[in-house]
Amino acid sequence: MPKDHGIGASSKRREDVRFLTGDGNYTDDINVHGQAYVHFLRSDVAHGRLTSVDTSEAGKMPGVVRIFTGADFEGVGGLPCGWCVTDRHGEPMQEPGHPVLAQGKVRHVGDPIAAVVADTPEQARDAAEAIIADIEEFPAVVDMKAALKEGAPKVHDDLSSNLCYDWGFVEENREAVDKAIQEAAHVTTLELVNQRLVANPMEPRVAIGEYSRARDEHTLYTTSQNPHVIRLLMGAFVLGIPEHKLRVVAPDVGGGFGSKIFHYAEEAFCTFAAKAVNRPVKWTSSRSEAFMTDAHGRDHVTKIELALDADNNFTALRTDTHANMGAYLSTFAPSVPTWLHGTLMAGNYRTPLIYVNVKAVFTNTVPVDAYRGAGRPEATYQLERVIDKAARELGVDPIALRRQNFVTEFPYATPVAVEYDTGDYNATMDKLEEIADLKGFAARRKESEARGRLRGLGVNCYIEACGIAPSNLVGQLGARAGLYESATVRVNATGGLVVMTGSHSHGQGHETSFAQVVADMIGIDENMVDIVHGDTANTPMGMGTYGSRSIAVGGSAMVRATEKIIAKAKKIAAHLLEASDADIELKDGAFTVAGTDKSVAWGDVTLAAYVPHNYPLEDIEPGLEETAFYDPANFTYPAGAYACEVELDPETGKVTVERFAAADDFGNIINPMIVDGQVHGGIGQGIGQALLESCAYDENGQLLSASYMDYAMPRADDVPFYSVDHSCSTPCTHNPLGVKGCGEAGAIGSPPAVVNAVIDAMQSGGHKVDHIDMPVSPSRVWTAMNG
Amino acid sequence: MYNFEFERPTSVADAVKALGQEEAQPLAGGQTLIPTLKQRLAMPSKLVSLSGISEMKGITQEGRTLVVGAATVHADVAADGTIAALSDLAGNIGDPAVRNRGTIGGSVANNDPSACYPAAALGLGATIVTDRREIAADDFFTGMFETALDEGEIVTAVKFPQPEAAAYAKFEQPASRFALVGVFVARTGEGVRVAVTGASEGGVFRWREAETALASDFSAGALDGMAPEADDMISDLHGSAAYRAHLVGVMARRAVAAAR
Amino acid sequence: MPQVSMTVNGKPASGEAEGRTLLSQFLRETLGLTGTHVGCDTSQCGACVVHVDGKAVKACTMFALEAEGADVATIEGQAAPDGTLNPIQQAFQDHHGLQCGFCTPGMVMSAAALLKENPKPSEAEIRDYLEGNLCRCTGYHNIVKAIMAASGQDVGALAAE
Ligand SMILES: Cc1cc2nc3c(=O)[nH]c(=O)nc-3n(C[C@H](O)[C@H](O)[C@H](O)COP(=O)(O)OP(=O)(O)OC[C@H]3O[C@@H](n4cnc5c(N)ncnc54)[C@H](O)[C@@H]3O)c2cc1C
Ligand code: FES
Ligand code: FES
């Protein structure tokens, strides 16, 4: 019987009503009295020296309030990078400066050169067009391997080369891995590209800076997944504003998928300019601007080698990856190809020896950072593609080969530094075989073939590390911030609760699922609990939402705070019931003395806390409000198995996804409906990556896929209904809810399933194609089959 | 976008007069023009909306000719059904909201190399009617985004002869969903016409070899193994010239097979 | 500046508009109806879909002055005056057809136009009709399901309950 309330119930989302009636409050819906608008003049060349920026004519145009250039930001800090990676030789990465407005050079198409603040957006744009920016154009570096060649143009003149770092993991294993590969019975090698993507949340970014002279206070409204992180980075590193003078508000945010984690120049600009012109300053990104300013994702080029013994056991794995950083280091960019990627290379398998090499490279392109999955999709894709290829080369069943090599005993310490606490990979694979109806595939293939179509089946597993992250561990790995989460639970006198969380919800439904947890713990109606997030003025310092961390870390903080509330409330109840607090039980919103029918209601206890007439004032303070910070002991490790069936039209090369099934182990589930939705969305994006999406540059660094005219977003008719299941559950062992997180799984697990299916379809038609790069577009498929 | 004056005349004559102003431009459905203006790629002094001119709207039958007013929206052509191939084509342009605004006149006047209507007009041997003359489709489409229209001349209607059999086969570009390749095939009393859109640098064109092959045998098999030269085909992110040339053959065969 | 008058959600509305003022801008900025969203500048995302004289159109691809005298319906006018959601809105909530909510107004307005034309659309017809409405969050699964449910079809048997 499905539950109808509390943990495990598919409670309807309370946030939906405002979104369904047009009553949401997105950043662009906010207009501050007297606001001016900014338009950024952006570089239309990928690389060059700014020889002069003449704003004299532009400054005289109607409505112009002030024009800013790089010179205005000379005394101001640059945009900081939040993670320092140490290379194979123990040296820190090369870390270039990242000015708010370009200084001296422009380094990618879209790099901001000047900013016009004017009374209306159109006036700002008119004046921006009148600015004369002279740029001495340099050859651009776009291809990563070319960027590392001797004599390649340097993106940053003050760095020794375009190499950000050369990372080896685990460096001590390098020789042993080489040896194992040399001695292996079989080695499968695959070279592949995990193409550059654009996150494309449907809401473009917006920033509004506001400044009060009287109070010397700054407010920034911004489309962010983590307002506290922006406050810290921008306040401490860019503008030098202490936290108590800087409020950052991220109201309703229309999707993020990683791209709204980072601190962007436009946020710092609006905050800075609002004080400089003593007027609120608003920036609304157009979609065209978003394509050249939102951090991109992925962009790895990899060679992977899998060694197997004569019995098809995996013996070693070696990867060599080039990871594009773009022109500057975005906030978390260095961590993505390293700690979020190398640590996952063991996948679901017992491979005793693993060595991962990653060269991070600067190019004249938009900075690349985390996009849904961040590093883990790249790891999963390589591994699950190479296993499929190995199975084909060895003539064995790809599922059997996976099962044979599964990790089956937990906890399991991988050779790449992480320890999986729980899991049952055979169980999710069994479940997948059932829900994907793999038995029926042969018949479906026959039916497709009768219509002149090829049909392919692709299966893969994935594992991810979520619940980011134990602070002391990530500190050792180079993180410059803690990665705990926080919650304040405030109980009102009449028993209602407000939970102020440092997590942020931009589609994940925290306002509903977090309330379910607290209501369940106390045994009260969910409607008595409200969740507040997104405003640094009324939430405790938190690290925000990304990396599928909210329920595992933010939820745990909330549980801890609620536990403190309950502990205190029990003391009050004990006093009211004249019993010992050890004997007090809380159930269904009432405190009872164990073994008696003496009880007091939740609301009477909360009232006593605020009207302490009859109250143990000697022992405890009045009031009922608690805060907890939760720092996780380990990552969580959601895992699962995915299957995709495609049909391929051999005449045109067009691939359609006919069926998609996902069996996930997310540990305990708070709201199954929301979890399903997260998986659906991830699969949609994964199918998008596999078949449609590609952010492409030409050799001069011009963005070719600069709008939805050329960047193919998945649409409703590109995808089927998905069959998803999360009944296989091995609860996380180290957080109070036993949850693992589910936000990224779909995007991580689905691309290899799709590509494996396409290869299978081509093979079934007699085409000896063993690899094709994403996006698997019709033209690529046709070329592969007819090349 | 840059600002402009806005005028909404109610007759063709007034519209032509309004277009006499320097840099004035007609606005039909705006489904192409408005995105262009947003990018500031055009700077008209005045937009003359054609949406209030009732004589430019609607679909009428004159003998064996279908006359479609230039301001008729795609959705209305899709719903008409007199020439099934034409209605199918219109019903597959863009999405419902685009079809509720975009017009046939705007589409042919714009002559986007990936647009659908130019293929129908050329494939059916249509006549483009303007405020001052009638132009055969063969003479109207003169190259990518180029037509025979003079400055200030507006398309008022497009006349389509009823074919014996026709169909349009479109292979969509995955992002824009315009035609990566679209082929319109029609058999009429005067012979077979095959018009190709999306593929060529020169915009919509007639594939003469296919027409010849189909004249003697109007069947998909007659085109087996045939594809036009790849030389002046478009090559871009979404497909090479060779791929497009191949697709022309495939889509032509599919159109012939579907023709009714 | 020219003046424009129209009916919005059944009530008269008027205001100043330049030639270039888009209907989406007029709704959002002049009338304060910020439920109509803007997600792109190439007329492709559909976050801005409203009804003009009963037809779904992209409010970002129509000038305010073109709506002179028109009857415009936006997301703000969909629920009953007492706040009761209409059947499409209710189905979106019941079946989790929205996550971040940004595409939602356009989705609901497109769905309403579809069901008016085709009261019991098939899955394929729904997917086809939504060609101009992008959603980045839901993978479309629950949107399609919600629209089927809103049209009175039994969605209990669909995959992935
Ligand atoms: C999302 C989207 C998807 C689309 N998909 C497709 C597709 O798949 N296939 C396709 O073919 N098209 C597609 N289009 C384009 C659409 O069909 C346009 O409606 C059409 O190209 C232009 O028609 P319009 O009425 O909107 O013209 P407008 O945009 O108003 O005008 C276009 C040009 O024609 C001029 N003009 C307009 N009317 C006349 C006239 N009567 N006489 C002289 N000049 C005139 C204008 O001055 C302007 O230069 C798509 C558009 C969008 C936004
Ligand atoms: S805002 Fe994207 S279509 Fe209107
Ligand atoms: S719900 Fe976020 S874009 Fe659709």
Please state the rounded mean pLDDT for residues A316-332: 98
User: Which residues are within 8 A (CB) of A312 and not within 5 positions of it... i.e. 6 or more apart?
Assistant: A186, A394, A396, A401, A404, A405
Closest A-chain CA to B174: A712
CA distance A80 to A264: 10
Indicate if A436 and A500 belong to the same structural domain. no
Q: What is the mean pLDDT of chain A?
A: 96
Domain that holds residue A497: 484-630
Mutate to test the pocket of ligand 2, among C23, C34, C48, C134 (most ligand atoms within 8 A of CB): C48
Which residues of chain B are in CATH 3.30.465.10 domains? 54-161
CA distance B161 to B163: 6
Domain B165-259 falls under CATH 3.40.50.300: no
A630, A650, A683: which is the final residue of a domain?
A: A630
Using the structure block, give the residue that is written with the tokens 């508009």: C17
User: Which residues are within 8 A (CB) of A714 and not within 5 positions of it... i.e. 6 or more apart?
Assistant: A684, A685, A687, A688, A691, A692, A693, C139, C140
Residues of chain B with pLDDT under 70: none
Please give the structure tokens belonging to residue A293.
């300013």
Mutate to test the interface with A, among B183, B246, B248, B256 (most CBs of A within 10 A): B246
CA distance A562 to A501: 12
Indicate if A351 and A458 belong to the same structural domain. yes
Please give the structure tokens belonging to residue B172.
């969509």
Nearest ligand to residue B101 Cα: 1
- CATH number, domain with residue A617: 3.30.365.10
CA distance A339 to A590: 46
Q: Is the ipTM of this complex over 0.90?
A: yes
Please give the structure tokens belonging to residue A396.
């064995």
- CA A256 to centroid of ligand 3, rounded, Å: 10
Q: Is A767 inside a domain boundary? A: yes
Whether ligand 1 lies within 6 angstroms of the CB of B129 is answered as no
- CA B100 to centroid of ligand 2, rounded, Å: 15
**Residues A462-484: tens digit of each pLDDT:** 999 998 888 888 888 888 888 88
Angstrom CA distances, A732 to A602, A658, A728, A738, C7, stand at: 30, 33, 13, 4, 56
**Residues A687-742: tens digit of each pLDDT:** 999 999 999 999 999 999 999 999 999 999 999 999 999 999 999 999 999 999 99
Indicate if A568 and A666 belong to the same structural domain. no
The one-letter amino acid code at B87 reads S
pLDDT band at A1 (very low <50, low <70, confident <90, very high): low
Dihedral of CA atoms C26, C30, C35, C39 in degrees, nearest 10, equals 50
Please state the rounded mean pLDDT for residues A625-646: 95
Collapse the DSSP code of A271 into the 3-class scheme (helix H, G, I; strand E, B; otherwise coil) and give the result.
helix
Domain B54-161 falls under CATH 3.30.465.10: yes
- CA C100 to centroid of ligand 3, rounded, Å: 5
Q: Is A357 inside a domain boundary? A: yes
Indicate if A681 and A762 belong to the same structural domain. yes
pLDDT band at A88 (very low <50, low <70, confident <90, very high): very high
For the CA of A255, the nearest atom of ligand 3? 2
Of A253, A507, A717, the CB nearest to C131: A717
Please state the rounded mean pLDDT for residues A583-601: 96
Whether ligand 3 lies within 6 angstroms of the CB of C134 is answered as no
Contact B168, B220 (CB under 8 A): no
CB pairs under 8 A between A and C: 197
**Residues A264-322: tens digit of each pLDDT:** 999 999 999 999 999 999 999 999 999 999 999 999 999 999 999 999 999 999 999 99
- CB contact (8 A) between residue B237 and residue A778: no
Indicate if A617 and A655 belong to the same structural domain. no
A611, A630, A649: which is the final residue of a domain?
A: A630
Whether ligand 1 lies within 6 angstroms of the CB of B25 is answered as yes
Of B6, B35, B97, the CB nearest to C56: B97
Number of domains in chain A: 3
Chain A segment 719-738 residues within 8 A of C by beta carbon are 719, 721-725
Indicate if A647 and A776 belong to the same structural domain. yes
Distance from CA of C18 to the nearest CA of A (A): 12
Mutate to test the pocket of ligand 3, among C137, C142, C147 (most ligand atoms within 8 A of CB): C137
Indicate if A525 and A464 belong to the same structural domain. no
CB pairs under 8 A between B and C: 79
Whether ligand 1 lies within 6 angstroms of the CB of B56 is answered as no
Q: Is A188 inside a domain boundary? A: no
Structural domains in chain C, CATH included, are 3-77 (3.10.20.30), 87-150 (1.10.150.120)
Residue closest by Cα to atom 48 of ligand 1: B33
Contact A7, A516 (CB under 8 A): yes
Which residues of chain B are in CATH 3.30.390.50 domains? 165-259
Distance from CA of A63 to the nearest CA of C (A): 16
Where residue A52 falls (left for φ over 0; alpha for ψ -120 to 50; beta otherwise) is: beta
Whether ligand 1 lies within 6 angstroms of the CB of B109 is answered as yes
pLDDT at B232: 87
Please state the rounded mean pLDDT for residues A759-777: 97
- CB contact (8 A) between residue B39 and residue C41: yes
One-letter-per-residue 3-state SS of A53-95: EECHHHHCCCCEEEEEEHHHHCCCCCCCCCECCECCCCCECCC
Residues of B with CB under 8 A from a CB of A: 1-3, 38-40, 171, 174-176, 180, 236-240, 243, 246-247, 250
Closest B-chain CA to A122: B1
Q: Is A164 inside a domain boundary? A: no
A613, A630, A647: which is the final residue of a domain?
A: A630
- CATH number, domain with residue A234: 3.90.1170.50
Indicate if A444 and A393 belong to the same structural domain. yes
CA distance B254 to C67: 41
Which residues of chain B are in CATH 3.30.43.10 domains? 5-49
Q: Which fold has domain B5-49?
A: 3.30.43
The one-letter amino acid code at A676 reads D
Q: Is A45 inside a domain boundary? A: yes
Please give the structure tokens belonging to residue A130.
């009148």
**Residues A116-145: tens digit of each pLDDT:** 999 999 999 999 999 999 999 999 999 999
Whether ligand 1 lies within 6 angstroms of the CB of B102 is answered as yes
Omega within 30 of 0 (cis) for the link into A170: yes
Residue closest by Cα to atom 12 of ligand 1: B115
- CA A354 to centroid of ligand 1, rounded, Å: 56
Of C33, C89, C100, the CB nearest to A507: C100
Mutate to test the interface with C, among A19, A33, A260, A742 (most CBs of C within 10 A): A19
Closest C-chain CA to B75: C55
pTM given for the model: 0.97
pLDDT at C160: 45
Please state the rounded mean pLDDT for residues C68-90: 97
pLDDT tops 60 at residue A105 = yes
pLDDT at C161: 40
